[in-house]
Amino acid sequence: MENASQVPAPNPPSSGTPTSRQGGEQWGSRIGVILAVAGSAVGLGNFLRFPGQVALNGGGAYMIPYFVSLLILGIPLCWAEWTMGRFAGRHGNNSAPSIYHFIWPNPISLFFGMIGVIVPLIIYMYYVLIESWCLAYALNYLDGTMMKTNDFGKFFDGVTGAGVDGYEFNTGYVNYGFIILFVFVINFALIYRGVSKGIERFCQLAMPLMLICGVIVLIRVFTLDAPVADKPDQNLYNGLGYMWNPDFTALGNPKTWLAAAGQIFFSLSVGFGVIINYSSYLKKKDEIALSSLTACSVNEFFEVCMGGLITIPAAFMFLGVLDPTIISSSFKVGFVALPNVFAHMPAGQFFGFLWFFMLFLAAITSSISMLQPVIAFLEEGLGLKRYASVTILGLITAIGLAFVLYFSKNLTALDTLDFWIGTFMLFVLAMFQSILYGWILGPKQGEIEMHHGAHLKVPSFVQFMLQYITPVYLIVIFALFCYWNMGEYIHSIIANPVSQMSIGFIALIATFIMILVVISHKRWQKQGRKSRFEIPAES
Amino acid sequence: MMFPLLAQEAAKAFALNSAGMTMMVVSITSVLILTFFCLYRVMTLPPVEIDDMHAPQNIDTGDTKDVY
């Protein structure tokens, strides 16, 4: 077993600063923090987005840029986030603004800290809605409603209100309202109990349960052979071929590489503000090199081994060759195509319930992770107790949820928030964190910090990658992403009033959080909180 | 909802070929090896020293004292 003793001597713990780890929240176990981070990363994208991306971008050939992106973008960035989070966290910094400002005492870092708060905050506002769709589908399978439904597109529109604005408020769809309320409350109940008693304990239960549900559905799919009697070609063998047969000419298309990098990027929750917050609750001696790699690998397991073998092959076996417009939409694959599959599958009611319950678990382990960075900021920045921070956050997110819920037509509000916050800002934050690690903290300091208590030696070239290759790779991907996608969304802002309101809503939240960040910064200055340059040298 | 399908005959064209099988097996095996290697390493790490243990012995969350 390699040990961190091979790397330069660590710095001693700082003392005497008001930012000591004493009294702060901490994880209860190694596997607990790993499952919590993995739970944050594993979400609907693993089961619905990834398989569609593979099928649309060269089949098995897509896995080449996918694994390249994992190695030079995903895993190194995760290591960097874990390292910066633990480093700042053991000096009492748990929220993005204080962590960034601790590493780089510059007003610009406070601005990016604000982004680190609004990204998980706004994503939560619509993600909790998607989470409630999963639970609604699971419960409708449980009581048999889904098995009596013929038109799954209409059913989806009914649940989401995609047909008309204010649908949920006008039609008295009471049961679904209760589901949204339940999901919203359960998230806050878990977060109220804290990092160790809430998030960690829940993830230790939810992740194995998710695995069991996934394995059962996988076994079902692999034992179906050709389920449609008069269509013998729609069998498992061809379904796997539809998903995995490689088209190597796709490797010459830059969009394939962008799709793979984007999938890795979004799947691992890099630039989310979550990993850096979770790792801030670790102690100096706590392992991070192996833990980070393990969390990444667990996420990959659910994505490649579950998502890659279930969704598209199953859809092919029952529905034949799918229209690319269906495959490219995670919502259409998950909430329209797969219910069609379960409707025709023997014991489909049971397997449909298991599938959507698994998606619900995947979603809730992600959504609770979005609340914790904001809770950490409210408590650390404003000195609030848990009940106060949870109440304030509950009010803010309820307003955001109501906004997304009301403007449900064509899911425009959800889509706009997802693009500008869940995609665009995620890129921005990841690029900032990449530069923060590679150029401000520096690879030398980073390597020392990364290896405190490590049980895995991270190769030295990773530091070189984090300084040069990863930021450049990210910037290139971001530029291509903007080139191909920005026009459509900017046009949408000009043409669609709901998109304009959504942008206004983002601006409002960003301004509010920026004011709180400035107030927090003044409090920290009064407390005599120090940056990394001002703490006593560690021996 | 009627699902938009292409011609059923197209299904024949997707029989898993050797390149597809190779990509699938290599991808899944690589991920499985990495996952089990990491989990094995984590599970077999030496126990945490008593003064490093966090919860429930010395956890003091402070802000969650009012939690039931």
Question: A515 exposed, middle or buried (CB, 10 Å; 0-12, 13-18, 19+)?
Answer: exposed
Nearest neighbour of A23 by CB, restricted to B9, B19, B62 = B62
- Least Cα separation, residue A411 to chain B (angstroms): 19
Residue in B20, B54, B62 nearest the CB of A245 = B20
* pLDDT of amino acid A370: 95
B21 to chain A nearest CA, in Å?
A: 7
Q: Which has more pLDDT, A538 or A178?
A: A178
As a whole number, mean pLDDT of residues A480-507 equals 91
Rounded percentage of chain A residues whose pLDDT exceeds 90: 70
Best of B8, B18, B38, B44 to mutate (most A CBs within 10 Å, chain A): B38
Q: Dump pLDDT digits (tens) for A343-371.
A: 988 899 999 999 999 999 999 999 999 99
A293 in reach of chain B (CB within 8 A) = yes
Alpha helical stretches, state H, A268-385: 275-279, 289-300, 308-319, 324-327, 330-332, 338-344, 348-382
Interchain pair B34, A320: CB under 8 A: no
> How crowded is residue A345: how many other Cβ atoms within 10 Å of its Cβ?
21
Backbone φ, ψ for residue B20 (5° rounding): -65, -45
Q: Which residues of B touch A380 (CB under 8 A)?
A: none
pLDDT exceeds 80 at position A18:
no
CB spacing of B62 vs A24 below 8 angstroms: yes
What are A423-477's pLDDT values in tens digits?
899 889 999 999 999 999 999 999 999 999 899 999 999 999 999 999 999 999 8
Choose between B53 and A230: higher pLDDT: A230
More confident residue, B49 or A186: A186
Chain B contact for A50 (CB, 8 A cutoff) = no
Mean pLDDT of chain A: 89
pLDDT, one tens digit per residue, over A499-516 is: 999 999 999 999 999 999
| pLDDT confidence bin for A4, thresholds 50/70/90 | very low
Q: Which residues contact B44 (CB under 8 A, 6 or more apart)?
A: none
* Structure confidence at residue B42 (pLDDT): 93
pLDDT, position A324: 85
A456 closest CA partner among B51, B31, B37, B32: B37
| pLDDT tens string A85-113 | 999 999 999 999 999 999 999 999 999 99
Inter-CA distances, A518 with A96, A307, A331, A452, Å: 13, 43, 39, 32
| Cα A308 to Cα A299: distance, rounded to the nearest angstrom | 12
Segment A321-327 shows an average pLDDT of 85
Length of chain A: 539
**Percent of chain A whose predicted confidence (pLDDT) is above 70:** 94
The nearest alpha carbon in chain B to A301 belongs to: B31
pLDDT of amino acid A492? 83
Place of tokens 């610009």: A108
CB interface of A with B, residues 377-396, below 8 Å:
379, 384-387, 389
Lowest mean pLDDT of A95-109, A128-142, A480-494, name the range: A480-494
With 70 as the cut, is the pLDDT of residue A172 above it? no
- What average pLDDT does this structure show over A41-45? 94
Select from A29, A63, A386 the Cβ nearest to the Cβ of B63. Answer: A386
Once rounded to an integer, what is the mean pLDDT over residues A393-418? 94
The lowest-confidence range among A2-16, A163-177, A228-242, A468-482 is A2-16
Q: List the single residue in A34, A242, A386 with the smallest CB-CB distance to B64.
A: A386
Bridge partners of A461, per DSSP, are none
If you search the block for the tokens 């991270």, which residue do you land on? A458
ipTM above 0.90, yes or no: no
Q: Do B66 and A385 touch (CB under 8 A)?
A: yes
- Mind listing the pLDDT tens digit for each residue in A256-307? 998 998 899 889 988 888 999 999 999 888 899 999 999 999 999 999 999 9
**Cα–Cα dist A500/A508, whole Å:** 12
What Cα–Cα distance (Å) separates residue B29 from each residue in A42, A59, A268, A284, B23?
Answer: 19, 17, 20, 34, 10
Domain edges within chain A: 29-526
**Chain A interface test: which of B23, B28, B65, B68 (most A C-beta within 10 Å):** B23
Q: CATH for A29-526?
A: 1.20.1740
Count the alpha carbons within 13 Å of A384 in the hemisphere toward its beta carbon: 19
Contacts of A523 (CB under 8 A, 6+ apart): A381, A382, A383
Largest CA distance in chain B: 67
SS3 A212: helix
Classify residue A525 as exposed, middle or buried by CB count within 10 Å of its CB (0-12, 13-18, 19+): exposed
What is the structure's pLDDT at B11?
Answer: 66
Mutate to test the interface with B, among A197, A245, A268 (most CBs of B within 10 A): A245
CB spacing of B24 vs A326 below 8 angstroms: no
pLDDT of A126 > 50? The answer is yes
pLDDT band at A190 (very low <50, low <70, confident <90, very high): very high
Three-state SS for A31? helix
Nearest to A525 by CA among A84, A23, A96, A105: A105
pLDDT of residue A45: 92
Which residue of A lies nearest to B28 if distances are taken between CA atoms? A305
A59 contacts B54? CB cut-off 8 A:
no
pLDDT of residue A6: 38
d(CA A322, CA A304): 20
Q: Report yes or no: A41 and A299 within 8 Å, Cβ to Cβ.
A: yes
pLDDT at A151 over 80: yes
CA separation for the pair A152, A159 (Å, rounded): 10
Confidence of residue A25 (pLDDT cuts 50, 70, 90): confident
Interchain pair A320, B39: CB under 8 A: no
For chains A and B, CB pairs below 8 A equal: 191
Residues of chain B with pLDDT under 50: 1-5, 7, 53, 55-61, 68
Report how far residue A256's alpha carbon sits from residue A333's, in angstroms, rounded to the nearest whole number: 20
Q: Which of residues 390-449 of A touch B (CB under 8 A)?
A: none
In angstroms, the CA A130 to CA A370 distance is 14
Q: Which residues of A touch B54 (CB under 8 A)?
A: 26-29, 196, 283
Across residues A171-192, what is the average pLDDT?
A: 85
Question: In Å, how far are A365, A417, A523 from A92, measured between CA atoms?
Answer: 25, 32, 14
Residues of B in contact with A293 (CB under 8 A): 34, 38
- A120, A122, A209, A277, A485 from A270: Cα distances, Å: 12, 16, 25, 12, 20
Q: Does A60 touch chain B (CB under 8 A)?
A: yes
Which chain B residues touch A240 with a CB distance below 8 Å?
16, 20, 24
Residue A478 has pLDDT above 80, yes or no: yes
pLDDT band at A5 (very low <50, low <70, confident <90, very high): very low
- Tell which B residues from 7 to 46 touch A, by Cβ distance under 8 Å: 7-12, 14-17, 19-24, 26-28, 30-32, 34-35, 37-39, 41-43, 45
Residue linked to tokens 């874990």: A82
